């Protein structure tokens, strides 16, 4: 039964999530099956998923047709285990200094401020990616202290495809502020009461970030399982 308190944006976000999930199931099935009949059925599922996503995009006033999504998904179909569709993995870095400040980066493309982030690279551990991303984006050398949480980007609303973010708490150990010339507009250290604007998502990551920077111990956060996993949201632990 629909949630009477749900907003149109919530439903649109659900449409995107459902379409991406259907598309992942279909692409994974195509990767493993040898049956032409089954491949045709999976292609039909992709078309249904594309219709759903096109409808969601229409609600967001992003005009893309069904064929666009079908082609995009078909191009990513692999074979066997490499073709099993899983969420992409991103690394987020909450870096603190001795003054209790947080390291933030201003995105060159959007002008929005956020902690350093980047896609996980093959051949590196998650912690190694964190070290690399912080240094590349800011010039700061930092060491990982703890895993703060695992966040589902689609459920949080900041990703339109399957993505998990591993969020690390890190301590600055050296280096000098020096933003990446292609990716960052600016970099800096900021106190909790002096965050720049606009800053993305500080209402959810801000409190736990500054708790970690100030030495408050806590358990890693994660998205709570939903009573009905295909509907509704739940608060993170």
- What is the distance between the alpha carbons of residues 173 and 98, in angstroms, rounded to a whole number? 10
Instruction: State the residue for tokens 């966040």.
Output: 151
Indicate the domain borders of the chain.
8-81, 88-222
pLDDT of residue 6: 44
Residue whose pair of structure tokens reads 């800096």 in the numeric block: 188
CATH class belonging to 88-222 = alpha beta
**pLDDT tens digits, residue range 25-39?**
888 888 888 888 888
Which pLDDT score, from 0 to 100, does residue 186 have? 95
pLDDT tens per residue across span 183-225 = 899 999 999 999 999 999 898 899 999 999 999 988 888 888 8
Query: Tokens 């032409």 belong to which residue?
Result: 36
Q: What is this structure's pTM? A: 0.68
Return the pLDDT at 94. Answer: 97
Residue 108 per-residue DSSP state:
T
At 130-154, the pLDDT tens digits run: 999 999 999 999 999 999 999 888 7
Question: 219 with 2: CB under 8 angstroms?
Answer: no
Positive or negative torsion for Cα 91, 162, 182, 200: negative
Helical (H) or strand (E) element with 190: strand 184-190
Pick the more confident residue, 40 or 97. Answer: 97
């Amino acid at each position: 039964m629909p949630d009477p308190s749900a907003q149109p944006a919530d439903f649109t976000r659900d449409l995107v999530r459902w379409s991406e999930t259907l598309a992942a199931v279909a692409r994974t099935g195509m990767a493993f099956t040898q049956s032409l009949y089954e491949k045709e059925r999976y292609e039909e599922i992709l078309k249904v998923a594309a219709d759903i996503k096109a409808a969601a995009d229409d609600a967001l006033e992003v005009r893309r047709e069904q064929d666009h999504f079908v082609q995009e998904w078909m191009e990513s179909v692999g074979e066997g285990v490499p073709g099993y569709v899983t969420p992409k993995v991103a690394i987020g870095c909450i870096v603190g200094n001795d003054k209790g400040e947080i390291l933030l980066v201003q995105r060159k493309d959007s002008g929005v401020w956020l902690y350093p982030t980047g896609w996980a690279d093959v051949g590196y551990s998650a912690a190694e990616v964190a070290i690399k991303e912080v240094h590349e984006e800011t010039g700061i050398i930092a060491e990982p202290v703890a895993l703060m949480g695992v966040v589902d980007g689609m459920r949080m609303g900041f990703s339109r495809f399957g993505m998990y973010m591993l969020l690390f708490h890190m301590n600055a150990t050296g280096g000098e502020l020096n933003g990446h010339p292609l990716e960052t507009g600016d970099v800096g250290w900021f106190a909790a009461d002096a965050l720049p604007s606009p800053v993305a998502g500080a209402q959810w990551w801000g409190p736990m970030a500054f708790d970690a920077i100030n030495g408050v111990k806590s358990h890693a956060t994660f998205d709570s399982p939903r009573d009905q996993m295909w509907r509704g949201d739940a608060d993170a632990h």
